[in-house]
Chain A
Amino acid sequence: MMQWFPENISTYGQGVDHVIQVIYWIVGAWFVVVEGLFLYFILRYRRKDGVRAAYEPGTSGKALAWILIPAVVILGFDVGIDLVQGPVWNEIKLTLPAKPDQIIRIKGKQFVWDITHPGRDGALDTADDIQTLNQLNVPLNAKIVFELTAEDVIHSLWLPNLRLKQDAVPGRTIKGWFQATKEGDYPLACAELCGSGHGTMRGQLHVLNPADYQKWLDENSPQSPEVSSLGH
């Protein structure tokens, strides 16, 4: 099953994949047993001349135990699954890193991602902020906190390689975080129907090593020295 997944490049992606695998094995085993039994009964108890069906209304406690005991086992597995998945959820969605390396602002609108990166000073809302459309640039291994919102309708920030999805809701700013562990370009999409451009609302996540990131900052910061010296 895991061969279908895109490569994981986030610190917490492993956890998500693990949860999916655990569930896969548990429900997979149940599925095979139940489906197998079902098929076996159908084949084994086909009508034969002279053989009468048993009268078994399943009212005695003993008969019901055949149903109730597996049900209790299922309950046990359910609790187990929740114990595995709970902490992963909490890590991804409940807690933000205490000291993020960077804060990025992302706004969805029909039909682009409007992204504000802090410039060289590392802070938002200063003159050197870098604004991009659909291009999300982050340094490798940096703890990124994002502030996500939407301008018009609901969009959903979808970064499959990070195992990250979060709806962007107009009127709210939702914070989240990630830490990308591998350099490269990865897809970024919108996962919530947002109008006629939904299917084309795509972008890129660029995970850059520190040198490349610095280069990108230098080339794109609005107040870069070249630009200001040209101005004088």
Chain B
Amino acid sequence: MDTKESFLRKYVFSVDHKTIGLQYLITGLVMALVGGLFAYGFRSQLAWPNEPVLGFGQVDPDLYNSLVTMHGTIMVFWVAMPILLSGFGNYVLPLMIGAKDMAFPRLNMMSYWTFFLSTVVLLSSFFFPGGPAKFGWTGYPPLSAQPGFSGVFWGGHLWILAIALEFASMLMGGINFLTTTLSLRAPGMSLFRMPILVWMLDIASIIFMFSVGPLIAGAFMLLADRLFNTGFFLPAAGGDPLLFQHLFWFFGHPEVYVLLLPALGILAEIYPAFSRKPLFGYKMIIYATIVAGALSFIVWAHHQFISGIDPRLATPFSITTIIISVPFAIAVFSYIATLWRGSIRLTAAMLFALGMMAEFLIGGVTGIFNGSAAADIYLHDTYFVLAHFHYTLFPITVMAGLAGLYYWFPKMFGRHMNEFWGKVHFWTTTISFNVVFLPLFAIGLAGHQRRIFDPSLFDYIAKYQYLHVIATIGLIVMIIAQVPFLLNFFISMRKGKVAERNPWRATTLEWVTPSPPGHGNFETDPVVYRGPYDYSLPGLKDRDFINQAETL
């Protein structure tokens, strides 16, 4: 057999869900570095507005807007989505339910390559005249609808095209997750024996599928406005700019939960394994998540309190928004209760998982401010909002993502990452993260509006310039803190301590496979006898867990 072709089949055009999962993870990691680099670019500009930024030169307003737009776009759609949903989803979902692969392996391959193409399209927009999109990651028209308003022509088309491709890829992935879950579970794996992560991935996929339709419609209308002057969003042609906002946020808010749920799912595997306890209130978490998912469709207008919608709409949307805190409180409390009377081991994976919750709580409670319409009059579009959503998105994306990586690394590569450097990575990342974003709450309360390239032009915020400097130093530390991680990751892949099948002594099915699992995953077809979190079951001798595939 031609070895070159088999190399391509194995590592490039693979149909194996594990390889595809890794492809998503690696692409997401690379894009995280790109998005982070952009953050460094405009963050430095904010701190020292009159000086050129090392590596970027003088950041003028146009470049600033490009960097901010691309940072937001990349972080949400090219980092959080591919890592959390597609990366971990592809890698662990079939393993966790005892399947040999996804239901549609070829569709799966196509979904990755569609995603890859979207990445190329997005990044290529930097090389077109006019540069990449610079109308904000939310792309509000009319600014985005007529190239004359923002000065981007090709960049805008490519931005829309890239997002369309990315969504197509995610839809293929979602269909695969759901079909796989419904049709390929091992004997005995009833729905209520599935690990929470599988539930979360499926609910997230369903939320995504239900919410994305309106946005796709909006994107097409926007493209038509740009290309054919249809004027859907242009008042001069009888259109309405607010229509786009409704379409966007009907998708945009549920999207937050599309990212949050896989993150919570990752935590649900890690907390029990490292506190040796069953997940507290398994079914209640599932029900609460479904309720929250459903509620997430009736909160979108809280992004539009002051956008000019009828002010009478504020009260119902304020109420639904604040009420969504209840199901999430149930989930969060259950996770915390899982630790109670446990036997907790602070591995790097566990540290990131615990840190995720500790930081996410800050994001959660600050959301209540924005959710109440009256407070939002003042806080909307200030750095307070920015701090709030980074306190949710960063823990979700970065901390839960890293927790999952440290946790499944032994399964993925058959070797362990270095724990010491993992812990160093955790503490430096967490501390610097707070140094970056805590000051931004204060700046926001002082009235600092978002997306301006030079705060020193406004007297009332210029006096807080030192806070921008602190935040930027925090970011530089955070970037440096990723170097040991990257070294640890790539060195451990080849030279790390060899991992056994089940190094964490965990209960879910992926841990009965060899590390890394071969093609087809399981040596013998697994049969499931119990729920996913039987840790410390009374009556067990000499060990404190039973895998789902074991009989007593």
Known contacts A82-B322, A165-B381; is A64 also within 8 Å of B284 by CB?
Answer: yes
Task: Report the Cα distance A59→B357, complex, angstroms.
Answer: 23
Name the interface residues of A29-60: CB closer than 8 Å to any CB of B.
30-31, 34-35, 37-39, 41-42, 45-48, 51-59
Q: Are A53 and B342 in contact (CB under 8 A)?
A: yes
Question: B190 interface residue, CB < 8 Å from A?
Answer: no
For residue A92, CB closer than 8 A to chain B, the reply is yes
Contact present for A92 and B377 (CB under 8 Å): yes
B107 contacts the other chain (Cβ, under 8 Å)? no
Closest to A43 in B: B344
Closest to A31 in B: B365
Determine if B372 and A19 form an interchain contact, defined as CB atoms under 8 angstroms apart: yes
> Is B377 touching A16 in the complex (CB atoms < 8 A)?
yes
Which B residues lie within 8 Å of A28 (CB)?
365
Which residues of B (129-185) have their CB < 8 Å from a CB of A? 134-136, 140-143, 149-151
Q: In the complex, are the beta carbons of B460 and A160 less than 8 A apart?
A: yes
A63 B281 Cβ-Cβ under 8 A: yes
Pairwise interchain contact B135-A93, C-beta atoms closer than 8 A: no
A166 nearest in chain B by CB position: B306
Closest chain B residue to A93 by CB distance?
B311
Q: Which residue in A59, A156, A187 is a CB contact (below 8 Å) of B306?
A: A156
Contact of A67 among B318, B333, B378 (CB under 8 A): B333
Within 8 A of B (CB), among A173-202: 174, 187, 189-200, 202
Expressed in whole angstroms, the minimum distance between the Cβ of B380 and any Cβ of chain A is 6
Q: Quick check: is A222 within 8 A (CB to CB) of the other chain?
A: no
**Residues of chain B in range 279-298 having any CB-CB distance to chain A below 8 Å:** 279-284
* A40 CA to B460 CA, complexed, in Å: 41
Cross-chain contact A195 with B314 (CB below 8 angstroms) = no
Asked if A81 CB lies within 8 Å of chain B CBs, one says yes
Q: Which residue of chain A is the closest to B448 with respect to CB atoms?
A: A160
Q: Does the CB pair B378–A82 fall under 8 Å?
A: no
| Contact yes or no, B281 A59, CB < 8 A | yes
Number of A-B contacts (CB under 8 A): 291
Q: Does A138 contact B (CB under 8 A)?
A: no
A127 near B: Cβ within 8 Å? no
Contacts known (A23-B369, A170-B235); A85 close to B318, Cβ less than 8 A? yes
Contacts of B533 in A (CB 8 A): 57
* In contact, A82 and B318 (Cβ under 8 angstroms): yes
Interface centre among B151, B339, B372, B450 (most CB of A within 10 A): B372
Q: How far is the CA of A103 from the CA of B158 in the complex (A)?
A: 44
Contact A34 B340 (CB under 8 A): no
* In the bound complex, CA of A46 to CA of B362 (Å): 24
Q: Which residues between 378 and 393 of chain B lie within 8 Å of chain A, taking CB atoms?
A: 378-382
Give B36 Cβ to nearest chain A Cβ, in Å: 21
B142 and A189 within 8 A (CB): no
A165→B306 contact, CB < 8 A: yes
Chain B, range 189-213, C-beta contacts under 8 Å to A:
none
B-chain residues with CB within 8 Å of residue A16 when the two chains form the complex = 374-375, 377-378
A23 & B368 in contact (Cβ 8 Å cutoff): yes
Is A97 interfacial (CB 8 A cutoff)? no
User: Which residue of the partner chain A has the closest CB to B63?
Assistant: A196
Residue in A31, A34, A56 whose CB lies within 8 Å of B341: A56
Distance (whole angstroms) from the CB of B316 to the closest CB of chain A: 10
Q: How many residues of A contact B (CB 8 A)?
A: 86
CA distance A197 to B149 in the complex (A): 11
Knowing A27-B365, A41-B339 are in contact, say whether A6-B61 is a contact too (CB < 8 A). no
B242 at the interface (CB under 8 A from A): yes
Q: Which residue of B lies closest to A34 (CB)?
A: B361
CB distance from A62 to the nearest CB of B (A): 12
8 Å CB contact of B277 from A55, A88, A90 = A55
Interface residues of A in 78-106 (CB under 8 A from B): 78, 81-82, 85-86, 88-90, 92-94
B143 contacts A202, CB within 8 Å? no
| In the complex, B500 has a CB within 8 A of chain A | no
B365 touches A30 (CB 8 A): yes
- The answer for the CA separation of A218 and B362 in the assembled complex, in Å, is 53
Q: A56, B149: Cβ atoms under 8 Å?
A: no
Which residues 329-343 of B sit at the A interface, judged by CB distance below 8 A?
329-330, 332-334, 336-343
Contact between B442 and A199, CB atoms less than 8 A apart: no
Are B334 and A56 within 8 A (Cβ)?
Answer: no
Q: Does A124 contact B (CB under 8 A)?
A: no
Known: A53-B536, A171-B235. A89 touches B377 (CB 8 A): yes
Partner of A193, one of B275, B280, B329, B451: B451
Q: How far is the CB of A202 from chain B (nearest CB, A)?
A: 6
12 of the cross-chain contacts (CB-CB < 8 Å) are A4-B442, A24-B369, A27-B366, A31-B362, A42-B339, A55-B278, A58-B278, A74-B329, A81-B368, A82-B318, A110-B149, A163-B378
The 5 A-B residue pairs with the shortest CB-CB distance, nearest first, are A171-B235, A160-B447, A199-B452, A58-B280, A4-B445
Give chain A's interface residues, CB within 8 Å of chain B: 1, 4-6, 15-16, 19-20, 23-24, 26-28, 30-31, 34-35, 37-39, 41-42, 45-48, 51-59, 63-64, 66-68, 70-71, 74-75, 78, 81-82, 85-86, 88-90, 92-94, 110, 152-154, 156, 158, 160, 163-167, 169-172, 174, 187, 189-200, 202
Where the two chains meet, the residues of B that have a C-beta atom closer than 8 Å to any C-beta of A are 61-62, 64-65, 134-136, 140-143, 149-151, 235-236, 239-242, 275-284, 306-308, 311-312, 314-315, 318-319, 322-323, 325-326, 329-330, 332-334, 336-346, 354, 357-358, 361-362, 365-366, 368-369, 372-375, 377-382, 442, 445-447, 449-454, 457-460, 533, 535-538, 544
